[in-house]
Amino acid sequence: MVAREDTRPSGLAITSLLLGLLGFCTAGVTGLIGFVMGLTAVIRIPRSEGRVGGYGVAVAGLSTSAVSTVAGPLLTLLAASIAVPSLAAARQTAHNAKSMMVLRELAAVTRSYVHEYGSALPPSDEWVAVLWDYAGSITTLVAPDGELIYAMNRNVGGRPIEGIATPSRTVLFFEIAPGSPPGGGPELLPARPAFVEGYAIVFVDGHVENVRRERVAGLIW
């Protein structure tokens, strides 16, 4: 077919191609519309007796729209399967980082209290009240809504910090299951750690770690 001088491009053909390309990003929704428009253009252009051009564009739009209608939803599902776990992992990492920061603050406050009041750690069953009197803001973070999320190792409560032989391996504070008392041992740990990296634990020397379940028994309680 020889195009005449007054031949105009088919708007349907061009729009079909654009909608077909967009279909890969819209789960095939625009691809379906582009398919209908492309099919219409393929039928109308030959009937226009040369007044409307763009038959090749119409075929390309029809084909692209057909492919994106099928592939668009699959690509969307694939992207979601990648993005959702990544988002959850990022959120978990951010939550873990915040908890580590709170525990470092708790360790710093405890050591400040120890150095100011005769080197003895607070009693394990009263540490919340003692540190509340000393630095109340920190206890609002370790006991939100009045429920403790960390406990003190009962075997170090009230002891002089200098008398603890291996402070880098001796547990000071640790995450606990809901409803646990403020002091105790590894029996208070939740069945599963709050973070995939492991249980959040503060040691007597002040450092904080995520300790995996298999390493818990090797700590000093």
79-98 pLDDT tens trace: 777 766 666 666 766 766 77
Of 81, 105, 130, the one marking the end of a domain is: 81
Cα separation of 155 and 86, whole Å? 40
Asked whether residue 133 falls in the same domain as residue 203, the answer is yes
Average pLDDT score over residue span 149-172: 93
Based on the structure, what is the number of domains in the chain? 2
Categorize the per-residue pLDDT at 6 as very low, low, confident or very high, splitting at 50, 70 and 90: low
The two tokens of residue 219 are 């700590």
Asked whether residue 130 falls in the same domain as residue 195, the answer is yes
Cα separation of 169 and 204, whole Å? 8
Asked whether residue 128 falls in the same domain as residue 174, the answer is yes
Cα separation of 204 and 91, whole Å? 29
Condensed to tens digits (0 to 9), the pLDDT of residues 163-174 reads 899 999 999 999
Does 91 fall in a domain? Answer: no
Asked whether residue 122 falls in the same domain as residue 195, the answer is yes
Higher pLDDT: 57 or 50? It is: 57
Asked whether residue 147 falls in the same domain as residue 73, the answer is no
Cα separation of 115 and 9, whole Å? 84
Asked whether residue 69 falls in the same domain as residue 121, the answer is no
Asked whether residue 209 falls in the same domain as residue 123, the answer is yes
Cα separation of 123 and 2, whole Å? 96
Q: Does an H or E element contain 103, and which?
A: helix 55-116
Q: Where are the alpha helices (DSSP H) in the chain?
A: 11-22, 29-47, 55-116, 127-142, 213-216
Does 192 fall in a domain? Answer: yes
Q: Does an H or E element contain 111, and which?
A: helix 55-116
Condensed to tens digits (0 to 9), the pLDDT of residues 93-120 reads 676 677 788 888 889 899 888 888 777 8
The two tokens of residue 49 are 């007796």
Cα separation of 161 and 114, whole Å? 8
Cα three-residue angle 36-76-22, rounded to 5 degrees: 40
For the chain, the average pLDDT equals 85
Higher pLDDT: 189 or 148? It is: 189
Cα separation of 23 and 160, whole Å? 69
Does 138 fall in a domain? Answer: yes
**Domain extent for 43:** 8-81
Asked whether residue 125 falls in the same domain as residue 61, the answer is no
